[in-house]
Amino acid sequence: MKHALFSCYFKDGIENFAKELEENGYKIISTGGTLKALEKAGVNVSDVSEFTGFHDMLGGRVKTLHPKIHAGILYRREKPEDVKEIKELGTQPIDIVVNNLYPFKDTYLSGASDDNIIEKIDIGGPSMIRAAAKNFKYTTIITDNADFERVIAEIKENGNTTLETRRDLARKAFMLTAYYDAWIAKYFNEKCGVEFPDEITLPLKKISELRYGENPHQRGFAYTLYNGDESGIGEAKQCQGKELSYNNYNDASATIEMVKLFYKKPTCVAVKHTNPCGIGEADTIHEAYLKAYACDDQSIFGGIVGFNREVDKATAEELVKIFLEVIIAPSYTKEALEVFEKKKNLRVLEVPGISEVRKGGLDMKVLPGTVIMQDHDDKEDCKLNVVSKAHPTDGELEDLIFALKAVKFAKSNAVVLAKDGATVGIGLGNVNRFFAVQAALKQAGDKAKGAVLASDGFFPFDDCIKLLAENGVKAIVEPGGSIKDELSIKAADELGVSLLFSGTRHFKH
């Protein structure tokens, strides 16, 4: 007689599946809560202890960890030595294993006590799953209840599952145990304070197959690295619009990270190709958007706009006047959502955590054959050192701090001109810092007069200081650290410009 072993935390559909296996000649054996659920449903099921002749131990920690179970799962039917040993042991082949694991990840993320988290580390489950997956030539392993229909259809048609199906189910099984163990390793690294272990496996889960990648000839997929943070793009709630594309994901994530820097006041960030094209900070979201729009009313077209406060009807009515790909906010009024409905393809995302400051976390880039990682750049440069004779006014200092936040997410070499809580010129992605300054000044035009500038890196020469002063810029902040800092300080003093050093570089490549 064929045997099917059930041991499931998630029990959806197991009763009907077990009954269909019974009808097709399988004897059902089970453990604990799964046993009770099957008995209640009227399945003729035997306790694992009857199969092994051994009772549960240690409060249920030891149930299936027994030679008769694992020999039955790993039994190779065509090997004479295996046939002999199975008979001597007095056990039976186990042809199907149905198992899913204790919810370790959910328990870990729920804030449960360490004792409760540890108890959700499944031992018997992964052992049975790996054994059955290894022996897929003979044994069918089911770790996803959604596969019940597929398996029973093949059994009804062929009397057994096909080798192709068993191999695919083994693939899914090993993916599950790898993902499961990655979460356990993540937990222990966190408890031990190890951020960059010698070996690392990231628990990634596919959330979407995209229409294509960065370009139409590339395939694209989205995976989530959810760790309890509700502000990541993978956790966004889509209120309306088309599916997000590869580029949408990338740009939307950059938008979220930019918005989170400006948590103190209502702020709007407009993004194009992961770069800011306008940022506005004001007393209301509506005014903040108008400031961001005014910085570059051309580049914002087809871009993404993010907010750190609820979007109201008046702001929504401004937003629909132009073509945008995505709008992101912590929430929307009912009236604002009604306005957006006029543009069916407009993607409207709700990310409640976007208004909270980002602390901690990792940034990573996947290179051919290599992954590089670093701490998230969450340092705020609020302790600025005035190195010139001239000192900034209170208003200029506030704009300098604003500009420093804005320049952190502009691709290097980058500079940002700001005035009255808004960007007025952005120079980014240049191979020369002087070129970046020229680009920002050209965009700002007359708005550069009375503005301030933040640079993500130091000025290697005094030419940038002189050009900025010529165009009416009153205050400048840069990291400092050039061997020619004294030339920049001297130029600032001669031209009556306030020059401040932050002591921190913010390159973004």
Contact between 396 and 473 under an 8 Å Cβ cutoff? The reply is no
Helix (H, G, I), strand (E, B) or coil at 466: helix
Q: What does the block give as tokens for 132?
A: 């059955």
The residue with tokens 């998230």 is 376
C-alpha–C-alpha distance, residues 202 and 318, integer Å: 41
Q: From the candidates 2, 134, 265, 490, which is the catalytic residue?
A: 134
Catalytic annotation present for 273: yes
Nearest CA among 89, 127, 80, 131 for reference residue 140: 131
Q: Which residues contact 378 (CB under 8 A, 6 or more apart)?
A: 357, 358, 359, 360, 361
The residue with tokens 């990541």 is 232
Catalytic annotation present for 343: no
Q: From the candidates 273, 313, 343, 466, which is the catalytic residue?
A: 273
Question: Could you give the dihedral angle defined by the CA atoms of residues 488, 492, 498 and 501, in that order, rounded to the nearest 10 degrees?
Answer: 10
Instruction: Sort residue 90 into left (φ over 0), alpha (ψ -120 to 50) or beta.
Output: left
C-alpha–C-alpha distance, residues 269 and 255, integer Å: 7
C-alpha–C-alpha distance, residues 188 and 199, integer Å: 13
Strand partners for 5: 29, 97
C-alpha–C-alpha distance, residues 173 and 154, integer Å: 19
C-alpha–C-alpha distance, residues 42 and 18, integer Å: 10
Which of the residues are catalytic? 134, 273
